[in-house]
Homo-oligomer: A and B are copies of this chain.
Amino acid sequence: MSKPSTPQGTRDFLPAVMARRNYIFDTIRTVIQKYGYVEIQTPAMENLSTLTGKYGDEGDQLIFKILNSDDYLAKANVEALEAKDSKKLLSSISKRALRYDLTVPFARYVVQNQNDIIFPFKRFQIQPVWRADRPQKNRYREFYQCDVDVIGSDSLLLELEIIQILDEVFRDLKLNVVIKINNRKILRGLAQYIGVEDRMTDLVVAIDKIDKVGLEGVLKELSGKGFSADELKKVDELLSTDSDDLARITSLVESSEEGRKGLEEVNYVIDGSNEQGLKSAKIEFDFSLARGLNYYTGTIIEVVGEDFPVSIGGGGRYDDLTGVFGLKDMSGIGVSFGADRIYNLLEDKGLFPEKLGVSTQIMFVNLGDAEAKYCLGLVAELRANGISCELYPDSAKMKKQMKYADGKNVELVAIVGETEMGHINRMVKVKNMTTGDQVTQTFKKLISDLKQ
């Protein structure tokens, strides 16, 4: 029999990793709950029709489809079957699919449950998503998203709030970050200035790639899309501008009403955040921040490490996320935390708290039936005091038991033999696994030590 394995691109989370992941999620959770956000969950599977067409053609390909149950070929499209046309056959053999992100299910959720929701609705959601991407280093087919959104208000106070949340979460995680801000309306103003408002998407998609392909690459792509020499010259000038040069951008979009509105919003958000005083993050304007996603309509946010250029969170304001499901005029803003990237950064920088994953405070050695039975009473008493402890289940060799305690990072090992059991006070011999020190003390003292 071959050794069993997880499917490509998926992972088992071992206890130590799990504890670190929980540390990240718990940190985020603790902060956002202080802002009045409530948790929801949606099912792993959605109707295929809910997901199809929301992520572009490429996205549609990457959605994991679930085969209908029972005799799925009974209702299969015969023509497609005979032609061996996978695409055409699909809808007749698959009605359901795994969610691809948390955003579309959230929009579906808001529309479906609108009568049970108090708006503005402040929600967070921490669940896995699945994508049939080609597996590669740090890219998984199953990964967690952690989304924080408010929907049902267009107040810019929420921009300030979301930025405060980002600031506080990353401060608590001890990561120094820069929060980059732009506004979709500024990008539209710039498109007007260049004279390509009708090709806004091409422009945004190209600019979004500047970090990867450089200025030359962006110009080449736009040239391929039919941008004229004059238009390309303006793009060139624009992209040669410092990305935080607010004055220059202001002069370029001044003539555009939408551009001016975008500038006003960006200024409100940056000034407001600075007045409030961020705890640890820096906030910066960056007109080249585009975020490819089409649903953003106002503020765009991206969080990068101060000394590492990867995005570890981001989001923005959208005015019509739920429109596609029939609920119009619901403005909202949301950000997503990149849990896997945050994990890798914390690990690289050694920023995880040391004591994580230590679940057991003290382990009692098992010296035989009589001693074990006696120790059962002791561990029960410790647990009643909220102390996490174990009695080794077998009277195995001391070496094996010590190895177990060591492997589980248990700091203290208790040894209770005949001498200790016979003592008028309940005595326990306690060995510190880090220092090697060994003391014999009363059980009462042990409890009070451990409770601290």
CB distance from A385 to the nearest CB of B (A): 10
* A-side interface mostly: mixed
B116 with A14: CB separation less than 8 A: yes
- A448 interface residue (CB < 8 Å to B): no
- A291 interface residue (CB < 8 Å to B): no
A380 proximity list for chain B (CB < 8 A) = 164, 276
- A226 interface residue (CB < 8 Å to B): no
The answer for the CA separation of A61 and B160 in the assembled complex, in Å, is 51
Interface size on A, residues (CB 8 A): 109
A194 proximity list for chain B (CB < 8 A) = none
The answer for the CA separation of A285 and B410 in the assembled complex, in Å, is 36
The answer for the CA separation of A4 and B49 in the assembled complex, in Å, is 9
A132 proximity list for chain B (CB < 8 A) = 69-70
Specify the chain B residue showing the minimal Cβ separation from A357: B38
- A353 interface residue (CB < 8 Å to B): no
- A74 interface residue (CB < 8 Å to B): yes
The answer for the CA separation of A160 and B376 in the assembled complex, in Å, is 9
- A367 interface residue (CB < 8 Å to B): no
A393 with B120: CB separation less than 8 A: yes
Specify the chain B residue showing the minimal Cβ separation from A18: B39
The answer for the CA separation of A47 and B84 in the assembled complex, in Å, is 25
- A180 interface residue (CB < 8 Å to B): no
A11 with B43: CB separation less than 8 A: yes
CB distance from A363 to the nearest CB of B (A): 8
B388 with A325: CB separation less than 8 A: no
Of A88-96, A205-213, A303-311, A430-438, the segment with at least 4 beta carbons within 8 Å of chain B is A88-96
The 7 listed contacts between A and B (C-beta, < 8 Å) are A3-B111, A4-B326, A7-B43, A12-B109, A38-B357, A67-B90, A161-B393
Not counting A18-B38, A118-B408, a sample of 8 additional A-B residue pairs whose C-beta atoms are within 8 angstroms of each other reads A3-B325, A4-B325, A7-B45, A14-B116, A44-B142, A45-B142, A150-B393, A272-B373
